[in-house]
Structures are given as structure tokens and as C-alpha cells.
Chain A
Amino acid sequence: MTSETGIGAAVKRKEDARFITGAGHYTDDINQPGQLYAVFVRSMYPRAEIRSIDVSSALAMEGVVAAYTGADLAADEIGDLPCGWMVKSKDGSDMIQPPHPPVAVSVVNYVGEPYAMVVAETLQAARDGAEAVTADFNELPVVVDLASAHGADQIHEAAPGNQCYDWELGDREATDAAFASADHVTSLDIVNNRLIPNAMEPRAAVGMYEAATGNYTLYTTSQNPHLERLILAAFVNVAAESKLRVVSPDVGGGFGSKIFVYAEETAVIWAAGKLARAIKWRADRSESFLADAHGRDHLTKAELALKADGTFVGLRVKTVANMGAYLSLFASSVPTYLYGTLLAGQYRTPAIYVEVQSVFTNTAPVDAYRGAGRPEATYVVERLVETAARELGKDPADIRRLNFIQPEDFPYETPVALTYDTGDYDASLKKAIELIGYDGFAERKASSEANGKKRGIGFSCYIEACGLAPSQVALSLGAGVGLFESAEVRVDVTGSVSVMTGCHSHGQGHETTFAQIVSDKLGIPFENVDVVHGDTGRSDYGLGTYGSRSLVVGGSAIVKATDKVIAKSRKIAAHMLESTEENVDFEEGTFSVTDSNQSITFPEVAFSAYVPGNYPLDELEPGLSEKAFYDPENFTYPAGAHICEVEVDPETGKVEIVNFVAVDDFGEIINPMIVAGQVHGGLAQGIGQALLEHAIYDESGQLVTGSYMDYTMPRADDMPNFVVDTTVTPCTHNPLGAKGCGEAGAIGSTAAVMNALTDALGVVDVPMPATPETVWRAMEGE
């Protein structure tokens, strides 16, 4: 029964029926009777003191119901938006966390920062009201350039030199010694370009308040509604957790940008309480560009020390990371625990030392964007490795093989704090080399040259750490929350099943994947399992979806709860079959007595659980619903090999990706169709970073890439067909053997593209994004 819909099957998605017919329910599709509309008034200055704000003209306009400033929120003791990860500097001091009021009170620090909110009967009236808000600003010196931000004019009183922290990891002395003894050192100055996540659904919120009960409900575009509720309750002081329900309905993509608690939903839910009316807000795309958390934005000096034969002996990395104007929710962890810890890559580099200085600038906050730290780490390692191979005259595949951690080395403790559980890196590389036809590359290159084109090939053998864990380790390193996940498997009287998870699906297909797991384990039809997510009123608790954690952490919690259901069902079945637990087998949905023909089905047991006539209630409670919390023992370590082949038109500088192969080891796979889709999307984002996307602030602090006319999103005709495949080494420490697949595409691909492009051009580096102009200039030696 389960073979077509069970674990490992490419089942078509449950969620598609509503999405392909236009019946999805996204936040902006939700309307409440008598709802008001909110529009935010945003700073046009990158940095200014607010002398005064005048909302009186707005309030006098027809349809305007209220106009609030930061002072109004502060008067109600609405707290700052917090950062949830305390990073410590080298000297042991805490990072600097400057005040971050949801609506600016005395200063604005980036273009787009909200300083007032107008609420009106119609969206048009709210827009007109927002236009009528006037403010007197005193412009202050602006800090935009990342390289010179440290030591520029001080943005926050609490942050001398605009420094948030100066962090280190690894053994500096051992690394220096390795460099002193090395035969060769490869050095690169690397810019990891700033990106804007651009989920297709803009952020939105509908806030509601019931005066008679004091209950708040917030519909919002969140990847983690329980965490949103926790922060709004515990830090922002909107309401007690028990009085606040956060619902994250269908969400149109996240890619990290919807993890964070933002100003807008905070102000909306607060104002809904003030006015006791429903309030709706939806970002215009220009607001998304200005005020969604951005991603990446690193400057790095990286050096790899090698022996003459290509063996890596040391890696030294110094990075400056942009935090933007304020610390967003997980901003501090991205260039540290999600970056520095990944610098061993797939290699046995014995000595690694990394320093990361993070600084404030007058730009939008920067936080996790698909991959979060791991793409930046992979880019550093894989650009270095490829460059070193070229400098030493080695084949890029051979130099990697020479340095790979070998299957017999696991568990492998890296010099940067992680213990990899399992992997077979050469298996993925070998398969990728076969799929791209590496043997035939020289011939294809010659053929391109005959056509006046330059052709190059580039490798990237990435590793990532997913399912951030375990809680106690994360907490000891500064995390503000645990990193477990919860699940409830609720069996109905008639045997249908609802699965409640604390993870949230915004494209990942959890409703399908999680149903496959439960139907497979319980031996019941896939159609009989419904997955419920995204509602603090329906599932107990959860940490949401990011960091490729849903299957490996959330799915493991579901397995644990399902096992509890099976254990209790077995006890009931034993009574019904007049046997003992030990003698009752469970297979494909049927309980049977060992060595007999007596059996009973799972739905029959479920019915009896709720109609408890035939088992002793002093031993067993009625009902069949089980909960579980799962805290992982370790990260999971997906890894793989991406190979890209590009062709460059020397006349125009246009780069075409002519072949792209990704072979990934995600451990065990539940739904290969969904996994391939996740890889495709990640590849497009990684390739987008390499060739197209760049968030640019000009020197005066204005975002000049604030629309789809200026910020180059990957479009259908920019992308190649992808060849994706997998290898499998099961994760050793979770019940599914799964490693997670959500970010791999974005992590591995960027370096593969840039390695291919630099190979084609015969240059050391080309800045990203490698637009035709940039490539043409690189060819001209500029």
C-alpha cells in the first residue's frame, strides 16, 4: 500500500491542488469585517536625528483613524526588536546590541526605516495620510562603505568604531606555524556581494484584537510563528503568550527573510489592540527592497597554505561582515557560528584560524538568507582551493581528492568546532565528473574556441551544517532559544490522522513529505494523513523552518510521536487479540499475533482506543494522540559536488551556463521529486548571486537597486537546465537518516560558477555579480 506514497516515493504534492487553482490563503488574501489599513512612513535619510514628527495633518484627513510614532509605542512600553544570539568578542566581551525600537524614536539609521504609521479606513486613505505626515530631520554623517565602516563616524552611542563584535575561532598559533612551514600560500581578497532575498510574496500582516477576551490574533508571513509569538510576548510586550495567537498561513517563499520579527507586524498587532479593530498591512515591493533583511555582504582576506604536492596545511581567514544599521534577529550568528565553523569544508586541513569583525553601517539590517554563512564559507574555501590548484598546476578534482576527509575518518572533528558524522565526498565528486563528462571538456573547449567563445569549468565541493543543534550546545554558544522541534500525531476515532508540527512550510512541501512518513510508518493511506502547521493555536510549540531543519529535526519529532502511537496501539491490540505486547507484530498497518492468523488493523485499534470497551482503563488511558519533542544530538552535514561549465562571449562579456551538475548527499530521501525541486531553486539563487544579483547603496546611503528594474532577479531565460543527482550516506544520529536539502543549491553553486568563469577567462578573480560589463572589464585587464 505504501510503496507508491511511502518513504522514498516521488509523491505529487498535497498542497498543489489549492495553489494551481488559485485557492491558496496567503496573508494578503485574509480580510476581516471592518478592517483598517496601515501604511508606514519611512525615512528617506540614511541617518538623521528626528527633531519632530507632525501627524496632525494626517489625522485631519478623511478616513484616517490613527497616526502613531515611535514615541506612542514607547509610551505603551513596547520593547525593542531583539537579537537572539549573543556572540562574544575575542576578549570575552559581549557583542554590542544597540537599541532597535520597532518604529524609530529619536534617530533613523537607514533609508526605509519606519518612523510613523498611519491607519485608515481604506488603503488609499492610509497612503494619503502617510503622505501628509511631516517630520523635521537633522541629517548626520553617513556610514555606507563596509571596508571603512570601522573607524568612520560612530552610528550608535554604544558601539565605538561601529563594531558589533570581533570574534575568532580556531588555533592562531598552530595556523601561523603551518603557514611558516608551507611550500606555497594561495591568497585571495574576496567580496561576497550583498543580496536581497525577494520572496515573491511581500511581507504582510493582519492584526486583530477582541476587547472582551483580551485575545490577539496575528496573521503574518512568518517562517516561525511560535518564535514570532515568543518574541512579541517576551521581549516586545505586546501580550502574554497565552493571549496571542500567531498564524502563518500559506506563505509565498521565505529564504530566511521571513524568520525575523519585523517592525511592521509588531506595530500592526499593537495598534490593533489600541483601536480594537482589525488592521491589515502589506508591503509594496519597494518596501521589501528597503526593509526586508538583506543577505551576505562580507569582505574577506583568505589564505590557504599548502605543501608542494597540494596537501593543505593551514587556512587563515579574516572577514568583515556587515550587520546593517541594527542587529536583526539572528544576524550575529550568521558570520560566526554558521560561517567560521564551516571553513574546514570537506578537507583535512589541520590548522584553521578565522577572525570576523562585524560592523554597523547605515544600511538595512543584514541577516540569514538561504544558506546563511555557509555559502560565504563555501565561497571562500572553494575559490581558494581552485586557485591553489591552478597555481600549483594540479587538476582541480585531484587536489580535492588528495585532501578529502575519507569515509574511514568519520566521525571527524574539524579544527573549527564541528564533528562531521558521516560522508563520502569522493562518491559525489566522481558521479558529478561522470555526469558532466569531464573527460570531454578539452574537446568542448576547443570547439567553443573555434566558435570565438571562451569556455571554462569550475568545481565546488561544499559542506553545510543543517538542523542547528543540539540545544544545549547552541545555548552555551549564545543562542537565546532551544533548537528542538515538537510534533503531535493525533489519530481520530475513524483512523484518519492529523500531524501537528512546529515547522512551517512556505514552499518546501511538508504537507506531503511529513504525510509520507506517517502513512508509511502507520501503514495507512497517504490521503488519510493531514499535516497542520503554522498556527500557534493548533500546534504546541516549535522553532519553525530555516537552516534545512524541517525534515531532520521536525521530521524526527514526527517519527518519535508516531512511534509512541504505535507503542500504545500495540498495547491495545494485545488486549484485543488476547495476547501480549511482546507477541504482537506490527507491519503495514496490521497488528498480528506472532505465529498465528489472528490480526487486527490499525483503524480498528484506533476506534477501540476511543471506544474503550476491551482494554483495562486502569492500565491505559483512552484515546490515541501522542506528542514528542526531539532535540538533535548534532548538526547534520549534507555535502556534495557541483560542477559548472560556462561559455563567455568575448565581444560582449555575456556568460552563459552551458552545463551545470549538482550531486548532493542528503542522506536518506523521503520524496526525491521535492528534493530535486529544492536543489533547482537553490541553484538559481546561487547562480543569481554569481552572475546577476547585487544590492547596491550609493555613497550617500540610498539604495539604488530598489526595484526589479534595478535589482536583477534570475529570470527563466537566464537559467540553464540543471542536472541533479544524489549519493547517500545516511545521517547517523536521527531516526530518518536524513540530512536536509533546502540550502545546498545556494551553498555549492556560486563558487562553481565563478571557478568556471575565472577558468574561462584565465584570471584569478572576477567580482560578483559577473555582469557582462564586469566580465568585459576583466578581459580587458581592468
Chain B
Amino acid sequence: MEISLTVNGTEHTTDVPDNSLLVEIIRERLNLTGTHVGCDTSQCGACTIHMDGRSVKSCTVLAGQADGADITTIEGIGTVDALHPMQEAFRENHALQCGFCTPGMIMSAIDLVENGKPLDERSVREGLEGNLCRCTGYHNIVKAVLDAQDKM
């Protein structure tokens, strides 16, 4: 099937097998490898991206479901020279170690700040419950999200 989608501001039209997953299109067709696959079953959150402004786990979205959608991946939110406040907060607060969960964590956290109520420690923890991190014990991630909230 042919699908059209906008990814990080660029429109793409591509022919994909019917059973393609959105994450496969992002990683393999568009070579945007910042979006990671950690579990294939939407439980770890490493593949989190924004679809029409809300965070979704791209390993359980069919590419066809994203036809016409506006997609933002970790590569689309900031650059090394112009970081998104959430990216900056993750670095400042040492909220990442191996970096594998980080793109998904940042994408979830941005959605949490932008589309929810004002956050406190408890609500950040509950809001990020769908993103697994094995390195940080979440301590500094929570700090980073609260820090970024003040700057976004």
C-alpha cells in the first residue's frame, strides 16, 4: 500500500507492505535510527514518537495507520546546537546512561509536559510508567522532567 506521512517536517510518500509497522518505516526506510526497538510489544517505550502531537509507541502502530499523519521523532525536536529544553534537561541532570531508552523517554516526557496538568514528582513517575529504563533508577529522569517543565 502507498502511504504519505510527514516526518520531522518533510513529506514522504512510500509504498509499504500492508503489515509494516510505523517503527520499521521510520528506522529502515527513512533511516531515522534514533527511535529504538526494545521489546516489540509496546511495553518498554523505547520506540515512542509523536503522531499528530501525541506520544505513541511506534512498534505497535501499523504504517497504514500513520497515513496522513504528522510524525515527529527524536531527530526532529532539536539539534546538538539547538537542543529542546527536555533534551537539555536530560543532559544537565544526568538523566541518561546507556542512552537506549532516552529518545523514547524524552518523547514521552515532552508529551507529558505539553499535554497534561502541571507535574509534580508523583505525576511524572506515573506519567512515565510506560517507559522502561534499566540504568538510572528513574531518579534523575524525574528531576530532568520537572526541570524541563519550568523551561518549556
Q: Which A residues are within 8 Å of any B CB, using their own CB?
A: 12-13, 15-26, 28-29, 124, 198-202, 250-253, 255, 282, 284-286, 506-509, 673-674, 676-678, 680-685, 707-709, 713-717, 719, 721-722, 745
Residues on A with C-beta less than 8 A from B98 are 199-201, 250-253, 506-507
| Contact (Cβ within 8 A) A253 B79 | no
| Contact (Cβ within 8 A) B17 A124 | yes
Cβ-based interface call for B115 (8 A): no
Name the one of A282, A507, A709, A721 contacting B135, with C-beta atoms under 8 angstroms.
A507
Residues on A with C-beta less than 8 A from B133 are 200, 716
Most buried by A among B40, B97, B98, B101: B98
A-contact bits for B132-152, CB 8 A (1 contact / 0 none): 111111111110000000000
Cβ-based interface call for B128 (8 A): yes
A-B contact count (CB 8 A): 181
Expressed in whole angstroms, the minimum distance between the Cβ of A513 and any Cβ of chain B is 12
Expressed in whole angstroms, the minimum distance between the Cβ of B75 and any Cβ of chain A is 5
Residues on B with C-beta less than 8 A from A23 are 34, 75, 80
A201/B38 contact (C-beta < 8 A), A20-B87, A253-B134, A509-B97 known: yes
- Identify the closest chain B residue to A709 (Cβ): B43
Most buried by A among B83, B102, B138: B138
User: Chain B contact residues (Cβ within 8 angstroms of A): what range?
Assistant: 35 or more
| Contact (Cβ within 8 A) A677 B136 | yes
- Mind listing 16 A-B residue pairs with CB under 8 Å? A21-B74, A21-B80, A24-B100, A25-B33, A200-B132, A202-B37, A252-B38, A252-B100, A253-B134, A284-B40, A285-B38, A285-B39, A285-B40, A677-B94, A709-B41, A722-B137
Residues on B with C-beta less than 8 A from A285 are 38-41, 44
Most buried by A among B36, B73, B87: B36
- Identify the closest chain B residue to A10 (Cβ): B94
| Contact (Cβ within 8 A) B125 A719 | yes
| Contact (Cβ within 8 A) B121 A721 | yes
Q: 7 closest A-B pairs (Cβ-Cβ)?
A: A22-B34, A252-B100, A19-B99, A684-B137, A507-B98, A22-B74, A507-B97
Expressed in whole angstroms, the minimum distance between the Cβ of B58 and any Cβ of chain A is 13
Q: Which B residues are within 8 Å of any A CB, using their own CB?
A: 17, 19, 27, 32-41, 43-44, 46, 73-75, 78-80, 83, 87, 90-92, 94, 96-103, 106, 121-122, 124-126, 128-129, 131-142
Residues on A with C-beta less than 8 A from B32 are 22
Q: How many angstroms between the C-alpha atoms of A189 and B80 in the bound complex?
A: 54
| Contact (Cβ within 8 A) A252 B125 | no
Expressed in whole angstroms, the minimum distance between the Cβ of A35 and any Cβ of chain B is 11
Chain B at the A interface: SS class = loop
Residues on A with C-beta less than 8 A from B27 are 29
Expressed in whole angstroms, the minimum distance between the Cβ of A36 and any Cβ of chain B is 14
Q: How many angstroms between the C-alpha atoms of A721 and B79 in the bound complex?
A: 31
Name the one of B39, B41, B92, B96 contacting A19, with C-beta atoms under 8 angstroms.
B96
Residues on B with C-beta less than 8 A from A509 are 97
Residues on B with C-beta less than 8 A from A286 are 40
| Contact (Cβ within 8 A) A24 B126 | no
| Contact (Cβ within 8 A) A674 B94 | yes
| Contact (Cβ within 8 A) B73 A716 | no
Name the one of B35, B94, B106, B139 contacting A719, with C-beta atoms under 8 angstroms.
B139
| Contact (Cβ within 8 A) A680 B137 | yes
Q: How many angstroms between the C-alpha atoms of A329 and B68 in the bound complex?
A: 50
| Contact (Cβ within 8 A) A253 B132 | no
A716/B100 contact (C-beta < 8 A), A12-B91, A21-B80 known: no
Residues on A with C-beta less than 8 A from B126 are 716-717
A13/B38 contact (C-beta < 8 A), A681-B134, A684-B137, A684-B138 known: no
Beyond A12-B94, A20-B91, A721-B139, 19 additional contacts (C-beta under 8 Å) are A16-B96, A20-B99, A21-B78, A21-B79, A21-B87, A24-B34, A28-B37, A199-B98, A199-B100, A200-B44, A250-B99, A252-B36, A282-B37, A682-B137, A684-B136, A685-B137, A707-B39, A721-B121, A722-B137
